[in-house]
């Protein structure tokens, strides 16, 4: 494996000199800021109208819109110019959040209206996901693809720190409606930067019926063992690991670590780690990227165990920071490998199956997490999740193609 020795940071950042990628980077940075700010705004807007059940309804509607359309959007992303689809996604999300903001600011909002608008917003997110990922190779030189993905990851990590903080300040000083206005505006700014782009269109094959194209995308996934076994691993994580952390973690923080402040410290440490990890992802070029990705997952279990033991908050935060470092490295290597290994005319569909594998199982994980906390306790659920995060990566690594897949990347200088 290599850290790009002999290549300067200036060379790594040279990808920003490519006009179309620079426009995409700026636009996506604004929309990522909105994505990080938005949950704070909508959460308090809904809670001002009702309770936790209403919040669950609105967020559930958003998740339903996302899950329902992501495979459809994958087919579209291989039929329609991807830049156009990302613009459509920005417009849908802009309209949904702008209307939500008007309803909240005027005091006319009803929960059912916010749920419908949440569904529309989720559909916009579904269109954005496969199209935006498949668009990246059309805006950047092939040998700078990893640098491009790493820089986008760096932008997301930075906005995950700044966005919630800005959202909290706006809600506290001007109210949820004002925060929703800012959220909507980020998509308008994103669209403004995407409009002048001249992205290369990926070569397209012969168009057929929708279901046939969807099956063709599935065959592209199924024909690559490293790909489908990893997607299965992500689906299992969505059931057995992530919901446990997000449900049991706050319970432990509230009952044994001193309250919400401790949980905020732990999450913030993870966000800082993600930002640091983005710098690592910019230069880290392992020869066997999928093997490294799944080995990186084994950094996570100690944090869950220590959190379950209600250990010292600084120690848990440090482990959260380490775990945060691994995430953008995994994400960058994973995204870059898919973009390099999958034919351009199938990239949208393959990416949508990747997203669908994680999204479709997440509701089940959250549904099970509550009863499991009642059954085995918050600590017990975290221990089970820690075991899962050991077993799942080792099972994926047992697939020879995962271990053997080699990167063909060469380093670009200047």
Q: What whole-number distance in Å separates Cα of residue 313 and Cα of residue 62?
A: 33
Which percentage of the chain shows pLDDT scores above 90? Answer: 47
Q: Give me the pLDDT at residue 93, please.
A: 96
16 in any annotated domain: yes
Residues 215 and 176 in one domain: no
Q: Are 286 and 2 in contact (CB under 8 A)?
A: yes
Question: What integer is the mean pLDDT of 358-370?
Answer: 78
Distance from the first to the final alpha carbon of the chain: 21
Helix axes 210-222, 225-240, angle to 10 degrees: 100
Instruction: Encode pLDDT of 232-290 as tens digits.
Output: 999 998 888 887 887 788 788 878 888 777 877 888 888 899 989 988 888 888 889 99
204 in any annotated domain: no
Q: Answer whether residue 412 shows pLDDT above 50.
A: no
Question: What integer is the mean pLDDT of 93-98?
Answer: 96
Residues 174 and 246 in one domain: no
Q: What is the DSSP string of 66-95?
A: HHHHHHHHHHHHTTS-HHHHHHHHHHHHHH
Residues 287 and 391 in one domain: yes
Q: Give me the pLDDT at residue 207, please.
A: 66
Instruction: Encode pLDDT of 317-346 as tens digits.
Output: 999 999 999 999 999 999 999 999 998 888
Q: Are 287 and 1 in contact (CB under 8 A)?
A: yes
Q: What whole-number distance in Å separates Cα of residue 207 and Cα of residue 156?
A: 34
Q: What whole-number distance in Å separates Cα of residue 162 and Cα of residue 164?
A: 6
Query: Tokens 């080792």 label which residue?
Result: 394
Q: Give me the pLDDT at residue 152, please.
A: 92
Residues contacting 148, CB < 8 A, separation 6+: 15, 21, 25, 136, 139, 140
Q: Is 285 helix (H, G, I), strand (E, B) or coil?
A: strand
Residues 20 and 91 in one domain: yes
Q: What whole-number distance in Å separates Cα of residue 147 and Cα of residue 144?
A: 5
Residues 154 and 286 in one domain: no
Output the CA angle 76-142-404, nearest 5 degrees. Answer: 90
Task: CATH number of the domain at 187, please.
Answer: 1.20.1250.20
What range does the domain containing 288 cover? 210-409
Beta bridge partners of 285: 2
- Tell me the pLDDT of the chain averaged across its residues: 87
Residues 169 and 281 in one domain: no
Q: Which of 164, 198, 232 is the last residue of a domain?
A: 198
Backbone region of residue 51 per phi and psi (left: phi > 0; alpha: psi in -120 to 50; beta: other values): beta
The structure tokens listed for 260 are 């919400």
Q: What whole-number distance in Å separates Cα of residue 380 and Cα of residue 396?
A: 25
Q: Which of 147, 170, 198 is the last residue of a domain?
A: 198
Beta bridge partners of 2: 285
Residues contacting 170, CB < 8 A, separation 6+: 37, 41, 178, 179, 182
Q: What whole-number distance in Å separates Cα of residue 376 and Cα of residue 381?
A: 6
Distances in whole angstroms, Cα of residue 204 to Cα of each of 75, 82, 207, 375 = 12, 12, 8, 52
Residues 189 and 227 in one domain: no
pTM: 0.82
């Amino acid at each position: 494996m290599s850290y790009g020795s002999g290549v300067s940071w200036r060379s790594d950042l040279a990808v920003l000199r490519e006009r179309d990628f620079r426009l995409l980077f700026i636009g996506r940075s604004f929309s990522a800021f909105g994505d990080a700010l938005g949950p704070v705004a909508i959460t308090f807007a809904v809670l001002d109208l009702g309770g936790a059940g209403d919040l669950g309804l609105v967020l559930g509607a958003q998740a339903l819109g996302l899950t329902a359309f992501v495979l459809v959007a994958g087919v579209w992303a291989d039929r329609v110019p991807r830049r156009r689809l990302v613009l459509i996604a920005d417009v849908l999300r802009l309209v949904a959040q702008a209307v939500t903001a008007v309803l909240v600011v005027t005091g006319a909002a009803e929960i059912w209206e916010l749920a419908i608008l949440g569904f529309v917003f989720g559909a916009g997110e579904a269109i954005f996901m496969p199209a935006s990922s498949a668009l990246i190779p059309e805006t950047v030189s092939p040998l700078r693809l990893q640098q491009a993905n790493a820089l986008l990851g760096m932008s997301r990590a930075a906005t995950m720190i700044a966005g919630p903080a800005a959202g909290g300040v706006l809600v506290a000083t001007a109210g949820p409606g004002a925060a929703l206005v800012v959220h909507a505006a980020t998509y308008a700014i994103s669209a403004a930067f995407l409009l002048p782009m001249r992205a290369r269109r990926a070569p397209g094959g012969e168009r057929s019926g929708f279901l046939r194209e969807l099956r063709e995308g599935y065959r592209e996934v199924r024909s690559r063992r490293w790909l489908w076994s990893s997607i299965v691993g992500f689906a299992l994580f969505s059931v057995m690991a992530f919901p446990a952390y997000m449900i049991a973690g706050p319970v432990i923080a509230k009952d044994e670590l001193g309250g919400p402040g401790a949980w905020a410290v732990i999450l913030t440490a993870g966000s800082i780690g993600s930002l640091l990890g983005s710098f690592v992802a910019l230069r880290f070029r392992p020869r066997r990227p999928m093997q490294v990705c799944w080995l990186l997952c084994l950094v996570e279990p100690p944090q869950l165990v220590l959190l379950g033991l209600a250990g010292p908050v600084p120690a848990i935060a440090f482990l959260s920071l380490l775990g945060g470092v691994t995430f953008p490295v995994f994400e960058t290597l994973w995204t870059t490998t898919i973009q390099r290994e999958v034919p351009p005319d199938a990239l949208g569909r393959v990416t949508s199956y990747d997203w669908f594998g994680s999204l479709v199982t997440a509701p089940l994980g959250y549904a099970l997490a509550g009863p499991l906390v009642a059954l085995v306790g918050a600590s017990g659920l975290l221990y089970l999740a820690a075991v899962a995060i050991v077993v799942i990566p080792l099972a994926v690594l047992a697939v020879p193609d995962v271990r053997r897949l080699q990167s063909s990347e060469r380093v670009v200088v200047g």
